[in-house]
Structure 1
Amino acid sequence: MPDFAPFADPFDLTGVPRLTKVEAARTVSDDCFAALSALKSLEDATAAFKAAVIELRYCATHAEDTALGLDLWQNTLSAMSCRAEIAAVLTVSEGQAGELMEHLATLIRNLPATFTSLRDGAISWGHAVVIADKSLTLRSSGIPEAAITAYEQTLLGKAGCTLCSFRDKARRLRERTQPESITTRTKVAYEQRRIEVQRVHDGMSWLSLYLPAPTVEGIWDQCTFIAKNAQRPSEARNLT
């Protein structure tokens, strides 16, 4: 194939175009983008179906417990067993499985529009989790369902952006929707402060702190100050 020039005479547009390397490369590129788009929609739809299966599994456990007349303690053990089984199948921690089940229940039971958008490939799983997480916060604050539905619809209209940007938009919109003052919510959030460790590969781990923003900013500023003062010609490490 020639590199380009689909016509023998570039000014003669009546000739039959010849296949060129440029046209072939552009066709492959277009097909790849179309395939990636289709695969993304398939992944999102698969996430929705997986969510439905997990929720159905939990509902089946609850139905069995009810039929057997289990007491509160037995129900708790049964729910923990269900969560452990799901964690084993998905190869995640039981804590992650529990958080996942909570998000799934919210999506399927309380956010049908979000679940439908996920199933249709209109939004990603990450975007759906953000909506579920923020709506849980609003619902726990006693926000009316009509307001939560309006919050959901507004976020669905803003979902055509990166997950990081979408998370910021969801947070800002939630702040405007909350009836309590920021002082009241901060006091409640303060009780949830914690430290977590995630062990990864090559002998490394991640250490995560969930603390009041001024405390975290102070830690960050102090670390940055120390790192900058350590910069010298003999120091091979970068600021990070």
Structure 2
Amino acid sequence: MPRAEMLSKLAIEGRRYDLARLREVAEELDLPIADTLAVAGLSVPARLLPPPRDHRALREFAYRVTHCDHAQLASLEAYVARLAPADVAQEDGVPTASAEAGFANILAGLIRNRGFGVMELPFTGLSRSTINGMLSGRRHTLQQLKAISGPLGWKFEYLAAVAGEPLEAFNDCSVLCRHVGKVYVAAIPLTTEHLIDACAEADRVSGRRYTGAWQPWAGPRCPDEARQAPGENRRST
């Protein structure tokens, strides 16, 4: 079964899956188990969520990661993974259904799984009001899905499948690719102290000079884009 179709089916039928099947899907798609639970409309156990963290440290970390190129992102992801505490035993038992269903609830769960709120997300190419609109259930576009998929560490076509949106050409305003999001996924278990350490490492590998103020920055084109089908989307100019 194609992976996008697997996710679409998970969003529709996932509440009937047991934990073993959810883990299989997570491994097949290289996603955190917490994400498959969110897509399936099931509650995420607290042990799979980030610990309480200082919001300013989280914002700083999210921002500084965006200054790394792809080689630096890979190095930073490995560094962050080494900071993470050793994994504990897998969750057992029967997952319980969350209170709400629908893509807005899934998207909120994916963002929450990384410890972010709208205020902690890095600049995605979307305004905060647009993101809040997506989270409140307003209609979403492929352009918006592409922009938010990167910080989540998701492939765009996967998120589009979960949202029930067929792929077609669109005006691409995204600024962050999934390789940035993979660093955020690796950072899920980190404490505030770990995030401060990771901020320093991000600055070291990127060579960024911190000025104390937000600075716009555009990284190199993602290698994934060179492999996408012609006409899948077109970048805005």
The TM-score, its normalising length taken from structure 1, stands at 0.27
Greater RCO between the two (CA within 8 Å, min separation 6)? 2
Query: Per residue, is there more helix in 1 or in 2?
Result: 1
The TM-score, its normalising length taken from structure 2, stands at 0.28
